Structure 1
Amino acid sequence: MRGIRAALVALAALVAGGQGAQADWSDFYRPTVREAEPMPATRGSADPAGICIREILRAQLRHQIPGNLLLGIGLQESGMMHEGELTIWPWTANADGDGRYFNNPATAASWVRARQSDGIDSIDLGCMQVNLRWHPDAFISLEHGFDPARNVDYAARLLVSLYEQTGDWVEAAGRYHSATPEYQQAYLGRLKQNVSIANDRLDIFRALAAGAAGGDLPAPVAVASVEPLPEGHFWTSWLTTRSGAADEGARSLYGREVMQPVLPAFRKMF
């Protein structure tokens, strides 16, 4: 198993080299089973700041997604600073470029329904910002869409499905956002940084996941055999705005470290 450092060097080389470098990158991600396991649950109230991370770490192990790639994608899609800590927020929604963080799933679902009544169908939900226009059958209800376990598992299965089609984890990650090469490269350029952050702060993220393991959170979703997932656009509209330009997406930098996460500039509603 290659170490995290070697993986990050390879990732940087891929993004810098563009499409032609992807063929040399097919073995970039290796399962980091020990490093990515959530810590044992701690007593006390469940912390919503760790719910998405808990489900992402579980899904990476369950689906053998290597290199903390899914964790990096989660940071890119629903990452935020909460009480001084970088995390992935479960009740995040983005309707046609208007992205918001909510303090509970009911409020988030109510806001989404209002946007749908306005005729907006490009809406992203939850930890992994699953797009309802491109994936209308992903969830049976908005409540299921905002359930972290269901949301993350759908994203994980799609990632694996695209990897099986392409044979390359990086190409699969790019195709989450779009089948258009220029949009893929813009997405991967940001994802490189967020995967680095995911690995650099893994111990902190594992602690957050442990804090979310208690309390009255729903039990993990049992994964059943499913039909192959669809291809096409998947990730959020904030990276490609209404004008369609790949470099116009709202984004912001947080933290003072040399390597900073690239997070969506969504509004916090609590």
Structure 2
Amino acid sequence: MTAILSWFNKERGTEPYFMTIGDTKISNSETTLLLQGAKILELPIKVRDMSSPSSQLYFISTISYSYAGSTLVGLNIYCILQTIFSNIGGLQSNQTLPDYISLSEKAKSILKYFTVDSTKVVEIILSGFCPKSKVPFITIISPTLVDGLFDYEIKYKTNFLDEVDVVIIGDKKEDIHKMLELDLSEQTPDDSSEYWRTPVRVLNKIIEEKMFNTIGGGIQMTAVTKYHFKTYSIVYGNTGEVATLRYRNMDIFEDIGLQIGECYVTIPGMQIDLAN
């Protein structure tokens, strides 16, 4: 399985944005297949003018796509949505744009196409800012039973309080929520960065201490603002130590390598434990 956590970050000194994190372990029952798996991906939204002979692009933005469950299904759904959402047609003269509900409904229909029964269950989170209204949103698409038949339900979240309020898909939801509640109860939003990054520290602890055999590898961390999607590496190392950067459980210095010809790999890093 996996664990994906998403929340609306109102860290002091920044314009509010969505953070989504997940582990990188991919397994098949009891067998670990990969410890560097991708589960959170950028989903571009591109709208072209159908009245223009060249189908001129007149709108571009991006949202976050993350999944828990079957990797085969989750990645293939992403690939189809990436193509569809990058080729939306509208009328520039009317500034026609899709809203977050129509995007979510399309994602649900593609998900249902791939999972006609419960053998390859997938949960999805879409998060970002609505192309039409600019409203921040999180969509959760989860499996359910309706009159004994397998289906998917959609839940939307558009109102966000001035506190960490995490949406979780995947495994061990209740356990993770309890850990978050305990950690957050010892802080206040005034603690700012340390407070708002609590979910990252909690997931990192779960992974490092190997609390659950379905969650492991490393951390994948992303952010979505009104303007762009960002992916982060994690900074490891206390003050005075030589720091290292890990991206999806890979050491950027040793496993990936810094150079690309005459250029460099510059995945931005974020520190988890701000107390060190």
Fold match by TM threshold 0.5: no
Which is richer in strand? Answer: 2
Q: Which structure would you say has the larger Rg?
A: 2
Give me the TM-score of the superposition, normalised by structure 1: 0.33
Give me the TM-score of the superposition, normalised by structure 2: 0.33
Which is richer in helix? Answer: 1
